[in-house]
Amino acid sequence: MKFIKNLTGNKEQDDAALISQYRHTGSLDVLGILYNRYMHLVYGVCLNYFKEEEASKDAVMQIFEELVTKLKVHEVQNFKSWLHVLTRNHCLMALRKSAKHNTVSLEDAFVENGDFVHLDIEDTKERQLTVMEKCMETLPEEQKISVDLFYLQEKCYKEVAEITGYEMLKVKSYIQNGKRNLKICIEKKSSE
């Protein structure tokens, strides 16, 4: 991993101070110092998902580009945990997007002999998943992260609180409100 320079000696400022400094100045150098502390962890998560070095390196750079805007918008108490969630979500979205673009060549014999009754069920599930993904994107960030961790990652309230840095009562509220908002959005989009 020669492309990652781990400057562990640069610990004079804690993460919160660097975040604050970046939000005030917009300095990419400051953001780079902060990101560099955890870049090896981001790379490890990406490699775990993509199983390819080049795709993981690309994702590490894309996540840094996301940080440029997202760190100005979101209140982050625990940067390491927040970055882990951001990285995981980035990888999952990239994998979903690439799965939609996979093509399969069908031979004429296969098409002629196949019984495609099951495709209606698959199409319905795919539409439902697409609607759910779109509705997840409409949720406020706290609700989206909490719902994702609780339902999709099957974390308990305590784990969600530890990962996000949110208070336990806030986590429960975000999950409850997120679930309700998701249900409303799904019902609305399904009836359209």
Cα angle for residues 117, 124, 141 (degrees, 5° grid): 155
CB distance 93 to 62 below 8 Å: no
Per-residue pLDDT of the chain (192 residues; tens, 9 = 90+): 444 444 444 456 899 999 999 999 999 999 999 999 999 999 999 999 999 999 999 999 999 999 999 988 888 888 998 999 999 999 999 888 877 655 555 554 444 444 544 555 666 777 777 888 888 888 899 998 998 888 878 888 888 898 899 998 998 999 899 889 988 888 888 777
Domain membership flag for residue 112: no
Domain membership flag for residue 13: yes
Side chain identity at 19, as an amino acid letter?
Answer: I
Question: 170: which 2 tokens?
Answer: 């806030």
C-beta neighbour count of 164 within 10 angstroms: 22
Structural domain boundaries enclosing 146: 120-192
Residues 4 and 83 grouped into a single domain: yes
* Number of domains within the chain: 2
The model carries a pTM of 0.49
Q: What is the DSSP letter of 119?
A: H
Question: 2: which 2 tokens?
Answer: 């020669």
Domain membership flag for residue 109: no
Cα angle for residues 185, 191, 192 (degrees, 5° grid): 90
- CATH of residue 73's domain is 1.10.1740.10
State which of 101, 136, 169 marks the end of a domain. 101
Residues 57 and 92 grouped into a single domain: yes
Domain membership flag for residue 161: yes
Residues 3 and 72 grouped into a single domain: yes
